[in-house]
């Protein structure tokens, strides 16, 4: 894809886990670009994006892993993102094209956001963001839980930053997604038990992967070790 002009960069969401839930556009772009940068590392979630695109059968040499530690303190990874941004900008200047792949949607709790910040230091870089199916949509589909009807509101809350707000949120929002419930699951169970009106709650982990679990009896999970990609959908009292 080198014709002397500046190459293009794509932030590509590859969907929640099932390779078939990738968009046609993501597939086309990933086949066309020269380089595919992707998060890699040891902890929760890094490497998933790469596994999702595996069935496309792309040349392994096209992939450029970026090692991340994904600790809550993002300072540790800033250097890695900065270096990746520099490498990407250098490739684009050579007329080559590059993508960053991320599970789900690139703007929704994604590694892409960190890279995007670093890429802003290169205003000449032309960026196209390709949205993807989120884990929230995939989880609702799998559990057959309506997300929102015409007049309803939806809240998405990282559980670690809002589990204690559940009751208040359910006063206003028909559906509340609590993301990454590992770590605060015991507290979440207590919040659910204390709700003044019963709500439907469904736990899902690793949606769309072979390790997927969908569990309606949340109490059965009390005390268990839960994975990073775990969420709970809480649907208010208005219906079952």
Buried b (16+ CB within 10 A) or exposed e, 73-88: eeeebeebbbebbeeb
Stretch that binds a second copy, among 41-49, 76-84, 93-101, 132-140 (CB under 8 A): 132-140
Residue in 43, 24, 20 with CA at minimum distance from that of residue 32: 24
Stretch that binds a second copy, among 1-9, 16-24, 60-68, 82-90 (CB under 8 A): 16-24
Q: Rule CB under 8 A: is residue 61 a binding residue for a second copy?
A: no
What are residue 21's phi and psi, to 5 degrees?
A: -90, 10
- For a second copy, give the closer residue by CB, 18 or 86: 18
Residue in 133, 134, 95, 128 with CA at minimum distance from that of residue 29: 128
The helix (run of H) or strand (run of E) holding residue 8 is strand 8-13
Rg from Cα positions in the chain: 19
Size of residue set near a second copy by CB under 8 A: 56
Which one of residues 61, 150, 193, 194 is an interface residue with a second copy (CB under 8 A)? 150
Q: Rule CB under 8 A: is residue 9 a binding residue for a second copy?
A: no
Q: Rule CB under 8 A: is residue 54 a binding residue for a second copy?
A: no
Q: Rule CB under 8 A: is residue 236 a binding residue for a second copy?
A: no
Distances (CA, A) of 170 to 108, 119, 127, 165, 174: 22, 38, 38, 9, 6
What are residue 118's phi and psi, to 5 degrees?
A: -70, -35
Which one of residues 172, 216, 237, 238 is an interface residue with a second copy (CB under 8 A)? 172
Q: Rule CB under 8 A: is residue 195 a binding residue for a second copy?
A: no
User: What size, in residues, is the chain?
Assistant: 240
The minimum distance between CB 1 and a second copy, in angstroms, equals 18
Which one of residues 3, 20, 124, 171 is an interface residue with a second copy (CB under 8 A)? 20
Q: Rule CB under 8 A: is residue 21 a binding residue for a second copy?
A: yes
Q: Which two tokens stand for residue 109?
A: 């709790």
Q: Rule CB under 8 A: is residue 33 a binding residue for a second copy?
A: no
Interface residues with a second copy (CB under 8 A) are 11, 13, 15-16, 18-25, 27-28, 72, 74, 105-109, 113, 116, 127, 129-134, 137-138, 140-142, 144-158, 160-162, 165, 172-173
């Amino acid at each position: 894809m080198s014709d002397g002009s500046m190459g293009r960069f794509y932030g590509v969401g590859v969907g929640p886990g099932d390779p078939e839930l990738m968009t046609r556009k993501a597939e086309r772009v990933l086949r066309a670009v020269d380089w595919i940068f992707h998060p890699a590392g040891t902890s929760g979630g890094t490497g998933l994006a790469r596994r999702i695109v595996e069935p496309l059968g792309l040349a392994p040499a096209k992939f450029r892993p970026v090692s991340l530690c994904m600790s809550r303190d993002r300072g540790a990874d800033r250097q890695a993102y900065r270096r990746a941004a520099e490498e990407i900008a250098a490739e684009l200047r050579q007329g080559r094209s590059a993508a960053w792949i991320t599970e789900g949607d690139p703007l929704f709790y994604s590694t892409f956001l960190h890279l995007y910040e670093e890429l802003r230091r290169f205003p000449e870089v032309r960026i196209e963001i390709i949205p993807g199916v989120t884990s929230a949509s995939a989880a609702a589909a799998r559990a057959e839980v309506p997300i929102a009807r015409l007049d309803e509101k939806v809240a998405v809350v990282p559980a670690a930053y809002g589990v204690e707000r559940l009751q208040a949120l359910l006063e206003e929002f028909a559906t509340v997604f609590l993301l990454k419930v590992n770590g605060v699951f015991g507290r979440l169970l207590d919040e659910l038990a204390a709700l003044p009106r019963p709500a439907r709650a469904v736990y899902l982990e690793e949606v769309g992967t072979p390790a997927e679990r969908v569990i309606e009896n949340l109490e059965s999970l009390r005390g268990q070790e839960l994975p990073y990609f775990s969420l709970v959908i809480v649907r208010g009292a208005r219906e079952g």
